[in-house]
Amino acid sequence: MSEQTSNLLHRLQYVSQIATLFFTNKKQRFDGQQQVINLLAVEDGMPQGNLAELMDIRPSSLAELLKKLEQAGAVERREDTTDKRIKRVYLTEMGRKRVIQNADRKQDLSAIFFAGLSQEEQHDFDRLLDKIIEGLPEEYRVRMNQLDPFEKLSEMQRLREEMMDIDWSKLSRHEQHQMRRDMQNRARDMGFDPRNFQRGMARMNSRHPQGFWPNPRPDKKQTSKEDDWTDF
3-class SS of residue 87 = strand
Is the pLDDT confidence value at 200 over 80? no
Which residues have C-beta within 8 Å of that of residue 197, sequence separation ≥ 6? Answer: 183, 184, 187, 212
User: Do 98 and 226 touch, CB atoms closer than 8 A?
Assistant: no
Residues 167 and 106 in one domain: no
The verdict on residue 50 lying in a domain is yes
pLDDT band at 24 (very low <50, low <70, confident <90, very high): confident
Of 217, 216, 210, 215, give the one whose Cα is nearest residue 163.
Answer: 210
Residues 114 and 154 in one domain: no
Residues 149 and 105 in one domain: no
Q: How many domains does the chain have?
A: 2
Which tens digits make up the pLDDT trace of 180-192?
Answer: 888 777 777 766 6
Which tens digits make up the pLDDT trace of 77-134?
Answer: 999 988 888 899 999 999 999 888 888 888 888 888 899 999 999 999 999 999 998 8
Residues 43 and 128 in one domain: yes
Q: Among 135, 164, 185, identify where a domain stops.
A: 135
Query: What is the spatial distance between Cα 53 and Cα 197, in angstroms, rounded to a whole number?
Result: 12
Which residue range(s) make up the domain with 186?
A: 142-205
Residues 69 and 149 in one domain: no
Residues 51 and 91 in one domain: yes
The verdict on residue 104 lying in a domain is yes
Residues 44 and 115 in one domain: yes
Which tens digits make up the pLDDT trace of 43-68?
Answer: 999 999 889 988 888 999 999 999 99
Residues 118 and 158 in one domain: no
The verdict on residue 54 lying in a domain is yes
Residues 163 and 97 in one domain: no
The verdict on residue 83 lying in a domain is yes
The verdict on residue 23 lying in a domain is no
The DSSP code for 218 is P
The verdict on residue 196 lying in a domain is yes
Query: What is the spatial distance between Cα 34 and Cα 232, in angstroms, rounded to a whole number?
Result: 6
The mean pLDDT of the chain is: 78
User: In this structure, what are the phi and psi dihedrals at residue 30, rounded to the nearest 5 degrees?
Assistant: -125, 50
CA angle 151–152–158, rounded 5-degree value: 90
Residues 120 and 55 in one domain: yes
The verdict on residue 11 lying in a domain is no
Residues 86 and 120 in one domain: yes
